[in-house]
Structure 1
């Protein structure tokens, strides 16, 4: 049973073609901020030190160490500002809007310097074909405020489900976080075993980074707003290494299918948004694709799996 979209304000329409160029602009701006966090944060397994997190107003870095001080940077998707906050009370507010990435990059570096932070970081995009250095990207891009807000509200709803799914695992599991390189919100579970050396080859990303990210066996799921050959927002799920039979596994809901070129299961965002219970539909996709990866891959599910977490209820210990 489908539900009229007006009854799902927390699962808004986000058709990719309608905001393609705004999405690219936002993606590149998150890369600029993400490169600053990457340059200042100690390396954490699988590049977890570089990601952004969904917040009650947008996307944020969390605390970033910068010498003797700490900064936090947030994309405010309600007031459409980039907020920079320092631990000495200093703040800067940069408007988010149409324009060039070069101008945004310069304004961001100036704001960092004014706060006493180090404005030096790598000035090249990652994971994009034919990347243009931030300082040289003079292309004028649009900024659709309504589309950005709807995208963020979709992320809020998705993040809630990802966090709930994350709670049902006792093994190593990532936070729900946004990778600004590929611009996807993701959550990843680990079997605990080493994986074969990844072949690398991701555009504008050092193979050493890719190989460290996939150093251990994973079952990963996430969400893309579109792009990279996908003309619609979609959820994905994959295993590395993919066990024999994974592509043929039966998963839920019925709208999910295996994309041979990508080597991943895909589920259109629209199928989730229009479901009678979107959270249940998405959770079914996460659970069934994980089960396929873990069962076919021989994971020790008796030791790794647990019931989904509940507020105020500790795990029982027997």
Structure 2
């Protein structure tokens, strides 16, 4: 049975969303400093898990591996080691400075590197983690519902990913912008990206957009859309993209963002949310691929389990 799509309330829960975002920024600093760079920054992203969000495996002390996760059920940041041991850092009542201190201590006690210095990325305000003593909201129910939304979106994104024969990203959570994203590539190089994202080095953005992409994702709200919403865009953005017909009718072109937008509420309230979201993903891809003159024959009509969608 499919997991149900939970209700989200950005206005009521944005304080807890912001707290979660900052905690994920803290966790996300670890792979930036412990593993080699993977194209388009994919090594930086987090994965949606049944209990929250987690880094990939990281190299630890004494040649032992570990990963770090945010568990929304237990409301803790968890360090899980290859030895089977784990350390938990409770979230409730903590500031970001508290979490920075406690996570650093947990990693050091576990014998792992703890390069947690620095401050958030992709935010106009940049207070170092160790100095961010602002009170934080930690509503467990709000964070569980948000995780449930990301879990449902991740399921559909992975089905959508399976339809593409070209290079495609995983469905992964970027902690800088706090969005779950899935990206397809044509294989052609793109014009140099102008950069300019707050507190993000331009070389990161330019490497991420080194090749043509059609991307879609889900973010919890903010930045011009004050509710959770799905988005889709192309880089480079071809002329006339905003005028292309897409599905469903509830989706629209956001001129300021230069993206198509479909609210999470429209998806969650649909008779078949998975099918409605898939229609949005497929129709926006079709419109952008046509406008960019991408090669034909790169997609399969239906997901296939147990064998390749295209047998050579």
1:249, 1:58 → 2: CA distance? 36
**Higher mean C-alpha deviation, range 72-81 or range 175-184:** 72-81
Question: May I ask how many residue pairs the two structures share in their alignment?
Answer: 310
Shift of 1:167: 0.3
Residue matched to 2:215: 220
Shift of 1:309: 2.6
2:163 touches 2:309 (CA, 8 Å); kept in 1?
Answer: no
1:150 partner SS = helix
Residue matched to 1:5: none
Question: Which of 77, 98, 122 in structure 1 is aligned with 2:93?
Answer: 98
Q: Call closer, same or farther: CA 1:45–1:255 in 2, change over 3 Å.
A: same
**Higher mean C-alpha deviation, range 86-95 or range 35-44:** 86-95
Residue matched to 2:156: 161
1:23, 1:159 → 2: CA distance? 18
Residue matched to 2:263: 268
Residue matched to 1:123: 118
2:60 touches 2:111 (CA, 8 Å); kept in 1?
Answer: no
Question: Which of 25, 29, 38 in structure 2 is aligned with 1:31?
Answer: 25
Residue matched to 2:67: 72
Residue matched to 1:250: 245
Question: Which of 277, 298, 317 in structure 1 is aligned with 2:311?
Answer: 317
2:310, 2:198 → 1: CA distance? 46
Question: Which of 30, 41, 45 in structure 1 is aligned with 2:35?
Answer: 41
Q: Deviations over 1:49-79 (max 9, x none)?
A: 0111111111111211235221111111112
1:191 partner SS = strand
TM-score of the superposition, structure 2-length normalised? 0.96
**Higher mean C-alpha deviation, range 42-51 or range 77-86:** 77-86
Matched, 1:152 2:153: no
Q: Call closer, same or farther: CA 1:288–1:115 in 2, change over 3 Å.
A: same
1:301 partner SS = coil
2:169 touches 2:184 (CA, 8 Å); kept in 1?
Answer: yes
Residue matched to 1:259: 254
1:247 partner SS = helix
Shift of 1:316: 4.0
Matched, 1:50 2:44: yes
2:310, 2:100 → 1: CA distance? 50
TM-score of the superposition, structure 1-length normalised? 0.95
Residue matched to 1:140: 135
2:213 partner SS = strand
Shift of 1:123: 1.5
Residue matched to 1:110: 105
Residue matched to 1:83: 78
Shift of 1:94: 1.3
2:214 partner SS = strand
1:219, 1:314 → 2: CA distance? 23
Shift of 1:9: 6.6
Q: Which runs of 5+ in 2 are unaligned?
A: none
Question: Which of 1, 13, 22 in structure 1 is aligned with 2:16?
Answer: 22
Question: Which of 295, 300, 308 in structure 2 is aligned with 1:306?
Answer: 300
1:141, 1:316 → 2: CA distance? 49
Give the CA RMSD over aligned residues.
1.3
